[in-house]
Each structure stands twice: as structure tokens, then as C-alpha cells.
Chain A
Amino acid sequence: MATTQSADYDISKYTDRVSLWSNDPNAHLSGYFTLYYHVESELTPTKPDTILGDIYVRQAPNKICVLGLSPSHPFIVSSSSLNKDDLKKECNVVLATELVGTKVTYDTTIAQIIVGQITYLIKARMQGQLLELNPRLKDTPELLWEHTMDTGYIAVIMSRVDDTKQQLKGYLTEEEYNTSLAEKKSE
């Protein structure tokens, strides 16, 4: 019934674009999201034996925010030197599922990663409605350190306001973050 028109795709239009993706399998996500980072201030008070760290937020054009651990997050940094099989066994991801569907604020703890005695607290770091906590982290926590920037995301939050400057106040752009990392390295 369907007329079989043969594919007429002209890939030369796209070869430049995709060659930028060769080094980073997540580079294509920039077509769907804008990447921001929240750097945790050292002065933020924390409970004993808990650690806060930097997070990233990918924001879509419809203002939905996808939150995850940034490469500079202490958990990610420490995981790089640990045995991955052991880490998978010892790592316990606790998601605040009771908060899904409710409004969260800057200080709301939406998830915890417990490794031995250390608890990493993941806070919303924005105001909005918590739409989802990544259910796959429970059984496959390795997504956190193997796919930190894509399928290992932690939460999906709906922006309270449309204006990104207000919604993600204090966040760094990708460029600013990379610059600050480079500066830290050279220190």
C-alpha cells in the first residue's frame, strides 16, 4: 500500500556536525539540552559524615531540568580509583520517592548515595516540582559512574519559573565550569 520512495538523505549536510561528536558520545545532547553546573560552596553547612558535591543540570527548551552528578563530584572522583565490582555491591542508592510529585526547594534532599560510612546527599539545588527520580539507579547504580552525564541522571525537575537566570541562579554555564576546573587544576 505505501509507495516505497527510496531514502534521499544527504548526509553531507551533517558530517561536520557529527564529527564534533566523535570525541564525546554525549555531545549530541547539546541539541536537546543546555548544560549548567552548580558548584557546591565550601561554606555550606553539612551534617556530620555527609558530603555535598557539584551537580549538573541539563535544561530542555520546555524548561524541564535533568539533574545529575558532575565529574567533579566527590563520589565520581573517588569512584574512579575504586574496584567497580566492589563499589556496585557496596553502593546503596536511596531515592526520596515519597517526594516525587511534590514541590522541592534548594535544600531538599532528593537522593542519597551511601557507600560504607559515607553518605553523599543529593539536593535539588533549585525550586520546582520533582517529576521523577531515575528508577534504574536502584538496581544498576553503575549508571552513576559509567554514564554520569546521560543515562546515570538522578532527577527530573520541572522549573518553577521560565527565566533560566532566575531558575538556575548561581549556576555556571558549561564554559564557565570548564574554565573553573582548569583553574583549579593549575592551582
Chain B
Amino acid sequence: MNLIEELRECLRISGLHPEPEQSIAVGLHIARLLRDVQCCYRCCLRFTRCNKMKIYKASEQDLQTAFNSLAKLLDVKPVSNDEEVQVASGCPACLGALGWMDQPENIQGIFDKIDTENYDCKRVNLNCTMPVSSLHRSHLLGVYVSDRLSDFPPSVLEIWNSEPVHDPKDAFKAVISDKLVERYGWTMDPVTAPLRMTIVLDHLETALEHRFLTQVKEPVMKLRKVRQNRKSIVAGESRTTITEALAALSKEEAYSLTAIPPLPPTTQITLADVAMVHESTIVGGRYLKMSREYSQTPWEIKGKRLAEFSVSEAIEEIIKRYHRCDNSKFVTAGREDANVRMLGTGRPFYCELINPRKPVLADEEYKKIEDEINNQDSKDAVQVRHLCKISPSDTKIIKEGEETKCKSYRALVWISQPITDEIIEKVNKVGSAPFKIQQTTPLRVFQRRSAAIREKEIHTCHLERVDGASLSGVESQFGVLTLNTQAGTYIKEFVHGDLGRTLPNLATLTGAVGADLIELDVLDVDLVWPPKK
């Protein structure tokens, strides 16, 4: 079918008139009305309920020819008397959005952004945001048309008033999609595509035009000032509100408050933004921390870093580089202080990579990343194991694990008297079976936790002398304590007693006056991670 035939068929099935053949004449009439006020042909198509995106892709010139040819065929007035079609930058309905796509330099702006970001992904969910004024202008043009349908039976007016005009978004997306598919080989998939692209068009000249809606007798739209991010902004004019206000707008009020038909704009529409965001990729594994000088994540108090280095920075930076992303979130199954080592099989973690330009890597690449992390300057401090891709649904395992799993620790402890065989026997007897301790909120976290007494279980506990230490003097007061505890147990407080606020504690178990924790290591975080495939 050629364009004229396609157009004819579109108008025929548009439903503008109860009888299909008559719909064509109604459609041409509406198109002429809109052309009289300088609407672009694509807006004529959407006002005449044209559903076939293929037709929107035709040029303005071809559409003019098709409309006029069709009018001639039906022996009605032509839609336009112009020989050459005007460039549709001044369309009062879409503000030129639907003609914007015709200009190569405009599309180039979009191509440039895509080329810069260079996503390694071919499935795209394309969205667009039209200038806000297109909402009320389409509505007002609908009113303008509705007052000029007297040539037709009343049912036509009824039909016209009952259905809203097609959203310009659909035509815009259809034309742009074509160009993107042609240039990049993309698949446009609004349902499951992981890469979301939003093209935002602005028309500054008419951006506040809709505010006439606040002037109606019983306004749906009420503007108010609110504070957001320490700035005062105006709220109450969302697109939803505008749509509601338009639905409640009577014709009389519309005529009294604003121009019908709305005037064509004098300035061009602009590309405000091309936002591209890819779904997060999640990479996880287990890390070991052999240093007592690395914090888990960068921690700052009053502008000063607590520890110079952190585990998360040692791991994230390299992963971010391979996946080409700007930001990440480091999530771990529990935490350890900077001066506590994480040994054994390491602590489960995952990294959520925000907006990765290269979302997918092969398994071999993860081995490469792991090796790179394990061989950089921090290698004696931080190591990772089992680095791999994690599916988003598995991330809950980490959070659940924090509550339910048990942890193994080993500590170098000091007590205020020599550790005798009796003391060792006493502690190990108690520690050979699970026992409960009551922990009042530790003083060191009392400023950010509520006061409570938490009961925790020490599953096992074992005390030994330090290898090679003397049996008398200060050396004999050191011991190695190995513990297996319920998740959430405060180990340091179990050792030093926190001024008697954790009971029993190591001092009370040994019968000594005081005890202190000298060094602490986490030996094991009992959680299956990464999850089995």
C-alpha cells in the first residue's frame, strides 16, 4: 500500500464516525482545522486516531501530499493550500516534538550521548517525556475542534468528546526507535530490557502555561511552596494534577482563561536530557582481611578518615573499572572493626554496581578481576575468594545470614592473674557446652543503640596458653581464647566485661578481677556464599 492508501485505511478504521467510510471525511476535516492553526501533520494523525506507527514515520511533506491527494479523491476541500510544507517547529499541539526527530542535528545529540556512554547492551526500554505544555494544548485543541464539527451528525461530536487524543509519546518513540535500531542494532523491549533510556524534551517558553488551571472557580490544581533539599520549590503542578484539572475544566472556563486554539510557539523545543540507566549488576564473593589497619568501609568523622585504607575500596575500585560504572554499594554479612582480622574462609559480601556500562562479564573475567584484586598493593591486607556474578534474588541471603548464623572467633586475651591449669580447666568445662550470657548495650555503642539487655549464646569456648609463653610473670597472664557464638554477640564485651554489664564474662569465668582483649580475629562466618549454582 502506498502512503495515500495507508492514510485512507487509517482514517477509515479510526472510528471518528459511526460509519467507517464517513470517518475519512471527518478525519480530513479535522486535519484541515488543525492545519489552519499550524499543527504539524503528525499531530493531525494523532488527533484523527491514527494507530499505525508506520505512517508517523513518513515525512511532513509526504504526509501533506497524502492528505491533499486523499482530499482530492474524495472531492473535499484540501487539507492545506501550501505547496511546500512548513518545517513543523511551531506546532501548537506538540510544540514541535514530533518534527524535532526530522532534524539530523537533533538526533545527533542523542547519538552522541549513546556513543559516549557506550553501553555493552542491545536491549533497550525507551521512554520519553514530552514538554508539559503539550498536555493542556492537546486538550485545548480538542476543544477547538469540538466546536467545529457541526457539519457532521451529533454522534461524531459525542465520539470526539469521549476519547482522548493519542499521546505524542507513542509516535515519537516509534520514529526514534527506528533510527536507534537502524544505527545500533538494538532491540526495543519495554517489558524486560535492562537498559532504560529516557529522552526528555523541554519547551521553556510554554513551561508554565498550564498555570491558568489555578484560576478556575474550583481549582483542582493548587500551587504551594515546599522545602526540598534545603530549597524552596513549587509543588502541586504534576502531570497527574494537570490531567485531573483538564478533566474538570469546563469549556466556558477554558475560553475565558486561555487562548483557544493555543498559539503556535515562537521558540524551539530543546533536548533537556538523555538519561540512560542500566539495571544494577551484582558481584559477590568472600573477603579476608589480614590487616588490623583496614576498616571495612571508608569511615569519616568530622572530615577525618578513621583508617587510611578500607576493604571495600580495595575490592570495589577494580570491579567498578571492569564493569565501567560510577557508583557501587558494598554489602557484607556482618562487620568487623578495623583492628579485627577476618580470617578463615572470609566474610561473605556483594557489590551492587550502579548503572554498569558493561553489565555482563564472562566467568574468566571474574577470575581475572579476583587475581588483580589479590595482587595489588593491598594484597597482604585484603584478599577475595570465589568472586562471581550474583543474581539479585540471592542478595537476601546476606541480610538473613546476619541474624541467624553463628561466628567463630579467636582472641589474644589478658587476665589480671597468671593463667593456671585450674583456670584453664574451669573455663573449658563451662565452654564445652553452650551457655547463655546477658549483654547490656555496650558502652561503646550506647550513643547510637537503645538500652536493652540482649541474651546471647556462646556455643563453645576454649582457653589455652600462648605457645611458648612463660608460666609465670606477665607472660603467663596471656591466653588464647577461641569462641563460637550466636550472631550479634559482642565479643569484646564478653572478654572485658564492660564494667560488669556483660555477665558472665571472661573475668567472672576465670575468677580474675579483670580481663582485657588484646587482639581479635574472626575465624569463620558460617554462611554458604556464594550460593550454590
Contact = CB atoms under 8 A, between A and B. Distances in A.
B172 interface: no
A62 B514 contact: no
A63 interface: yes
Nearest to B525: A2
Q: Size band of the A side of the interface?
A: 35 or more
Interface string A146-164: 0100110100101000000
B446 A62 contact: yes
Given A2-B523, A14-B518, A28-B516, A131 B499 contact: no
B412 A11 contact: yes
Interface in A4-26: 5, 7, 9, 11, 14-15, 18-19, 21-22, 25-26
B312 to A, nearest CB: 23
Interface in B330-368: 343-345
A7 B466 contact: yes
Contact of A1 (B447, B464, B526): B526
Contacts of B478: 9, 11, 14, 18
Given A2-B408, A143-B500, A150-B514, A15 B446 contact: no
B477 interface: yes
A151 B414 contact: no
A135 to B, nearest CB: 9
Contacts of A26: 514
Contact of A151 (B446, B474, B497, B519): B497
A66 interface: yes
Given A5-B344, A131-B451, A22 B440 contact: no
Contact of B480 (A7, A14, A31): A7
Contacts of B480: 7, 9
A18 B443 contact: no
B475 interface: yes
For chain A, what secondary structure do more than half of its interface residues adopt (helix, strand, loop), or is it mixed? Answer: loop
A48 B466 CA distance: 57
Interface residues of B, number: 37
B108 to A, nearest CB: 56
A3 interface: yes
B402 interface: no
B73 interface: no
B513 interface: yes
B308 interface: no
Nearest to B513: A25
B455 interface: no
Interface in B463-493: 464, 466-467, 469, 474-475, 477-478, 480
Given A2-B345, A19-B474, A156 B443 contact: yes
B444 interface: yes
Interface string A37-56: 00000000000000000000
B447 A150 contact: no
B49 interface: no
B324 interface: no
Contact of B466 (A11, A31, A62, A132): A11
Interface string B491-528: 00000110110000000000011101011000110100
Interface string B309-324: 0000000000000000
A169 interface: no
A35 B266 CA distance: 76
A132 B453 CA distance: 12
Contacts of A158: 446-447
B474 A22 contact: yes
A64 B446 contact: yes
Nearest to B516: A28
Contacts of A147: 500
A91 interface: no
Given A25-B514, A158-B446, A2 B524 contact: yes
B410 interface: yes
B477 A18 contact: yes
Interface in B442-457: 443-447, 451
B146 interface: no
Contacts of A66: 443, 499
A26 B416 CA distance: 9
Contacts of A1: 345, 524, 526
B447 A62 contact: yes
A21 B345 contact: no
Given A132-B451, A150-B500, A18 B524 contact: no
B416 A25 contact: yes
Contacts of B469: 11
A14 B440 CA distance: 29
A84 interface: no
A66 B443 CA distance: 9
The 9 nearest A-B residue pairs measured at CB: A151-B500, A2-B524, A25-B513, A25-B416, A25-B514, A28-B516, A9-B412, A2-B344, A62-B447
6 contacts: A2-B523, A15-B474, A15-B475, A25-B512, A25-B513, A150-B514
Given A3-B344, A18-B414, A28-B496, 11 more contacts: A2-B408, A2-B523, A3-B343, A9-B478, A15-B475, A19-B474, A25-B513, A32-B496, A61-B444, A132-B440, A136-B500
